């Protein structure tokens, strides 16, 4: 695989690969962790790679003639790195064909954010029958928003509680989630009080990953049966975004902080790589819900590719980010959407 920003003449796609012109690319928390050097993948442990976890684009060249995908097809992909560019070369099987009539911006939100959220709810080993309760950490962000919207779109009938800053309470309420101040010193008790029976939530999703956050999430769950699903280590990124506060990998950090009834779940390995066929099936299930209007991904900001520094400043601060951020790479689409 190669991930490049191509100056001048485009290279020839290698056999089995496709060269794709990127139309829109997602911006998300993993980009921040990768840039800071904390993502558990050797391809992005050191500077010199192009970030960008997911995208929607158009196939412009095929390295081999006979494929299920043709030149001119619209595709989506979760590539882990390389999407913050004008073009990307990937193996054809990594590409998911979509219709030209599909909303590029909405579909671009799916491969990372909404597939992560769907996997957290349906594929992470938790049992959430109707009437169950969940705690969504960082509920106003891209993943938290996706979790809440999927619960509603798929009629899961869950009682949702979410942590966020007080300035985002109204937004979180609009998602059908009961908001709780993320800095509440008695957070777990407040969560218990917000559950219907006062006994805590069935599952707590934690993206912060600090010892304190994981402990609060653990205490917020039901005794004996409650589960914590850790999905990130945002707390270990330096406050100015300049690097990681620990030299350990994300995997090592979470192993050291493991608590009873806690597990780590990641979309890349536990879902995309190990159960790829299921991942694709779930992607098209989400896409069908977008097409029908039952699922309408919330887009926080649309930026130009040249706004990369600003995008990462927003990822570091988290201020004003409500939902998914994206780069609009295609010039005509950017003009139509007023991204200048």
* Length in residues, the chain: 340
Sheet holding 133-136, edge to edge: 178-181, 159-164, 133-136, 203-206, 227-230, 262-264
Encode pLDDT of 210-248 as tens digits: 888 999 999 999 999 999 999 877 666 767 777 767 776
Encode pLDDT of 278-317 as tens digits: 999 999 999 999 999 999 999 999 999 999 999 999 988 8
In 56-70, which positions are buried (b, 16+ CB within 10 angstroms) versus exposed (e)? bbbbebbbeeebebe
Encode pLDDT of 126-135 as tens digits: 999 999 999 9
pLDDT at 52: 95
> Is residue 42 very low, low, confident or very high in pLDDT (cuts 50, 70, 90)?
confident
- pLDDT value at 154 more than 80: yes
- Which one-letter DSSP state was computed for residue 167? G
Residue 20 contacts residue 83 (beta carbons within 8 Å)? no
> Is residue 4 very low, low, confident or very high in pLDDT (cuts 50, 70, 90)?
very low
- pLDDT value at 97 more than 80: yes
Ranking 8-17, 73-82, 135-144, 217-226 by mean pLDDT, the lowest is 8-17
pLDDT at 244: 67
Indicate the Cα dihedral angle 170, 171, 175, 180, nearest 10°: -60
Distance CA 196, CA 329 (A): 46
Q: How many CA atoms lie within 13 A of 216 on its CB side?
A: 25
What's the whole-model pTM score?
0.92
């Amino acid at each position: 695989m190669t991930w490049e920003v191509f100056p001048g003449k485009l290279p020839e796609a290698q056999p089995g690969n496709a060269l794709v012109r990127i139309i829109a690319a997602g911006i998300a928390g993993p980009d921040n962790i990768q840039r800071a050097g904390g993502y558990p993948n050797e391809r992005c442990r050191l500077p010199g790679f192009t970030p960008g976890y997911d995208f929607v684009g158009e196939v412009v060249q095929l390295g081999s003639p006979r494929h299920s995908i043709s030149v001119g097809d619209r595709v989506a992909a979760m590539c882990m790195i390389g999407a913050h560019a004008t073009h990307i070369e990937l193996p054809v099987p990594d590409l998911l064909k979509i219709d030209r009539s599909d909303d590029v911006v909405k579909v671009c939100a799916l491969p990372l954010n909404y597939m992560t959220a769907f996997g957290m709810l349906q594929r992470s080993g938790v049992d959430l029958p109707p009437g169950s309760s969940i705690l969504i950490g960082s509920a106003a962000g891209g993943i938290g928003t996706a979790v809440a919207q999927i619960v509603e779109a798929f009629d899961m009938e869950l009682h949702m509680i979410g942590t966020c800053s007080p300035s985002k309470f109204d937004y979180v309420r609009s998602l059908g989630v009961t908001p709780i101040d993320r800095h509440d010193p008695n957070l777990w008790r407040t969560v218990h009080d917000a559950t219907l029976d006062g006994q805590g939530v069935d599952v707590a999703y934690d993206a912060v990953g600090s010892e304190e956050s994981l402990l609060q999430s653990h205490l917020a769950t039901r005794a004996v049966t409650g589960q914590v699903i850790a999905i990130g280590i945002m707390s270990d990124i330096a406050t100015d975004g300049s690097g990681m506060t620990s030299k350990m990998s994300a995997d090592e950090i979470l192993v050291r902080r493991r608590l009873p009834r806690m597990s780590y779940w990641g979309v890349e390995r536990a879902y995309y790589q190990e159960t790829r066929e299921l991942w694709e099936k779930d992607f098209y299930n989400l896409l069908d819900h977008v097409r029908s209007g039952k699922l309408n991904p919330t887009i926080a900001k649309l930026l130009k590719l040249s706004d990369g520094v600003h995008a990462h400043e927003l990822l570091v601060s988290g201020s004003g980010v409500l939902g998914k951020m994206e780069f609009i790479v295609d010039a005509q689409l950017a003009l139509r959407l007023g991204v200048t």
